[in-house]
């Protein structure tokens, strides 16, 4: 059993390690974070990620606030995005609640890593930068997995396009993986998630992203904002008030 009178050693100053440190400090423990970089977030390069609302909780920002971490980092709620396929036209999804919240990773002001670091230090957490001690001497290990089943390759660049999010599920990219394009405040992240031996994913995702920029993909739902599957659920009340635009497979689309 860990006593409140002895330090709790945490390996890794990523989001998980800093979250553990802040919550432990708020509960009267004395955590020490060991981070191999000279600042939290230095291993990231300003790339974008999404806090999903369908994964752990419906509203992740409220959850952070509930456990004592203020969501003061820059974020953007995403209510629509486009999914791309090979066999039929792209599908634009819309929802009245956010699908996810975009955040920026890195050591710059407003980045979520830098914000978590500042909150940890403000709460009295000790962070020892430039240290990478042996894991067997640590109480909490949050330095990431030793081995990975999948990899992410991508880059961040400037863009004059409006804010938008695209998910590429094309089998021409990969049989087992996907890619995504996020544009936010004139900065874009293009990345492909793929298996170790899947070498074609990255080049294919760049090609399809270029087609998106050129406006070669259309919305096959004709601007639908709602959809449901009548084979799984009864007709929702909103379906009687909206106009049906398309039927794709078993899904009925409305606007």
Question: Dihedral of the CA atoms 88, 93, 99, 103 (nearest 10)?
Answer: 70
Q: What is the pLDDT of residues 53-82, one digit of tens each?
A: 876 666 889 999 999 999 999 999 999 999
pTM for this model (two decimals): 0.74
Q: In terms of Cα–Cα distance, which of 59, 78, 57 is closest to 181?
A: 78
Give alpha helix (H) positions in the chain: 15-26, 60-66, 112-122, 201-213
Q: In terms of Cα–Cα distance, which of 190, 126, 132, 129 is closest to 157?
A: 190
Q: How far is CA 54 from the centre of its chain?
A: 12
DSSP 25: H
**Once rounded to an integer, what is the mean pLDDT over residues 162-169?**
93
- Residue 174: per-residue pLDDT: 64
- Other Cβ atoms less than 10 A from the Cβ of 102: the count is 21
CA-based radius of gyration for the chain: 21
Give how far Cα 153 sits from Cα of 44, 175, 194, Å: 12, 17, 8
- Residue 73: per-residue pLDDT: 97
């Amino acid at each position: 059993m860990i006593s409140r009178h002895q330090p709790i050693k945490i390996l890794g100053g990523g989001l998980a390690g800093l979250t553990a440190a802040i919550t432990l400090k708020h509960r009267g423990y004395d955590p020490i974070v060991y981070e191999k970089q000279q600042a939290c977030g230095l291993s990231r390069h300003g790339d974008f990620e999404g806090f999903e609302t369908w994964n752990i909780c419906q509203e992740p920002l409220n959850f952070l606030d509930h456990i004592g971490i203020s969501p003061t980092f820059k974020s953007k709620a995403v209510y629509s995005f486009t999914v791309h396929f090979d066999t039929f036209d792209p599908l634009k999804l819309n929802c009245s609640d956010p699908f996810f919240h975009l955040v920026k990773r890195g050591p710059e002001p407003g980045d979520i890593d830098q914000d978590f670091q500042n909150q940890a230090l403000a709460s009295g957490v000790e962070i020892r930068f430039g240290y990478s001690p042996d894991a067997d001497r640590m109480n909490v290990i949050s330095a990431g997995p030793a081995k990975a089943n999948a990899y992410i390759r991508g880059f961040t660049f400037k863009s004059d396009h409006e804010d938008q999010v695209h998910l590429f599920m094309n089998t021409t990219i990969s049989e087992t993986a996907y890619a995504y394009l996020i544009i936010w405040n004139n900065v874009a992240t293009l990345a492909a998630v793929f298996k170790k031996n899947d070498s074609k994913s990255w080049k294919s995702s760049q090609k399809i992203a270029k087609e998106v920029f050129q406006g070669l993909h259309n919305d096959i739902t004709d601007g639908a904002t709602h959809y449901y599957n009548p084979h799984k659920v009864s007709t929702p009340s909103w379906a009687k008030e909206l106009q049906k635009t398309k039927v794709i497979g078993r899904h009925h689309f409305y606007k």
